[in-house]
Structure 1
């Protein structure tokens, strides 16, 4: 029986390892290509290796793409817009989700399901009305318009995630006990409920940040000034030229684009596991 369990465990680990290798293979290929010279990257006769040969190994693609394409500006825009949109989404969705979970007011279910239903619409369906509205409000080609648009776009998902945690993850008697100790509704929420909901807030912040960071269509739609573009749109223009594409530089830009999202996940990953389990 013990040998059978060990054998089953070994088969399970082998399957997980194979699945992990298949999942990571595209990322390893991107990193490999970014470390090659461009001639080597497009050379079909070069042996397929995970690590490039020392004759073709170079970091120049990272330096070139950073210095030649104004990436500092684009990455700065991405960081500023993504963090600001995440903050706006959290500031509105946290009290909104708490109200949907704990308060009973006229039209509560209708408003909640209407907000959540908007998540089901493809983004492209909303482009024309959103662009017309933002143009009328003079928010096109502005940082505030990008931040507001991304924050509002991710808000229904944030409300849906948080209200489920408030409803199921925090018993109402905790707030009742806090009120018996003399706390008001607001202080009970700030001092008791909000600290307990930190894991769910971390998960919501992660989803909001990644949605804003990876967003291409909204930024492409609402900007025409190159100074307002984010790194995702800059990567599109990097690949849209008619000249010979520098694939090593393109892959270097992809690595740099993914790295901040990975770092942000690393900062909140301790809370993410708790939040996913609680939600």
Structure 2
């Protein structure tokens, strides 16, 4: 029996190892290609660990040749602003849906949830016409407003579930008995207890805003207000960009900020998803 258990555990770990290698191999290949020169990146004889051909030149080249500083600055401004705005409105909104009883509560909540499932591509033309009428085309303000609107239902849905199931109502009742007002109980008691869920919602909002391509592509034509996601699309479409090492370096640079953001908020995200 002991040998059978050891054999089963060994097979389990071996299978998990093979699956992990299979899943991580594309990411390794992206990083490997991004630190090779152009010839080595397309040479079939280049090995899996080409130590002699490693170089950071593709990163410097992609950063200096295509105004990536401007694009990444726009991406950070847009993603952080959309995240903060969505949290500012979704926290009280989700709390109201979870705790308060008012006419049309279920209708409004399910309407917000429905917008998450609705394909964005269907409403691109109406959205463009509205933003054009308001003079918000080719501006960071317009992009931030658009992304905040479409991120908001997602954060409301996530936080509403946490407020409803993760925080017992008797905690607020105890705060009210101690002399706090409803707003005071929310700010001093409920909100600090909700930080893990807020962290998880912030991460999802940031990732959605950072990776968004459609709305930035539709609402911008000026290079000065493009984000990195859309800028890389135009760079790849240019005749001058046919180097795989630069392509992979651009992909690594685009993924790096969300990875850093996740690393900083990992503790809150784990607790929030568990809650």
RMSD (CA atoms) = 1.1
Classify the secondary structure of the residue corresponding to 1:105. coil
1:4 aligns to what? 4
Task: Map residues 175-190 of structure 1 onto 2, 5 A cutoff.
Answer: 175-190=172-187
Equivalent residue, structure 2, for 1:18: 18
Offset at residue 193 of structure 1 (A): 0.3
Deviations 1:140-192 (A, max 9, x none): 11111111111110111110000000000000000000000000000100000
Unpaired runs of at least 5, structure 2: none
CA contact (8 A) 1:238 1:250 kept: no
Matched, 1:58 2:55: yes
Structure-2 separation of matches of 1:244 and 1:138: 33
Partner of 2:45: 46
The answer as to whether partners of 2:235 and 2:241 remain within 8 angstroms in 1 is no
Secondary structure of the residue that 1:92 maps to in structure 2?
helix
Q: Decide which of 105, 122, 126 is 1:125's aligned counterpart.
A: 122
Instruction: Report the Cα distance in structure 2 between the residues aligned to 1:8 and 1:150, rounded to whole angstroms.
Output: 49
| Residue 107, structure 1, aligned to residue 104, structure 2 | yes
The aligned length equals 275
- CA 1:244–1:161 in 2, change beyond 3 Å: closer, same or farther? closer
**Is residue 73 from structure 1 mapped to residue 54 from structure 2 by the alignment?**
no
Aligned equivalents of 2:45, 2:118: Cα separation in 1: 45
Contact kept? 1:35, 1:52, Cα under 8 Å: no
TM normalised by structure 1 equals 0.96
Relative to the length of structure 2, the TM-score reads 0.97
Moved more, 111-120 or 34-43: 34-43
**Aligned counterparts of 2:54 and 2:270: Cα–Cα separation in 1:** 38
The answer to whether the aligner puts 1:191 opposite 2:211 as a matched pair is: no
Kept after mapping to 1: 8 A contact 2:40/2:46:
no
Q: Distance in 2 between matches of 1:29 and 1:194?
A: 43
CA deviations over 1:3-41 (Å, ceiling 9, x no partner): 333322222222221111111111101101111111121
CA displacement, residues 214-236 of structure 1 (integer Å, 9 cap, x when unaligned): 11111111111101001111111
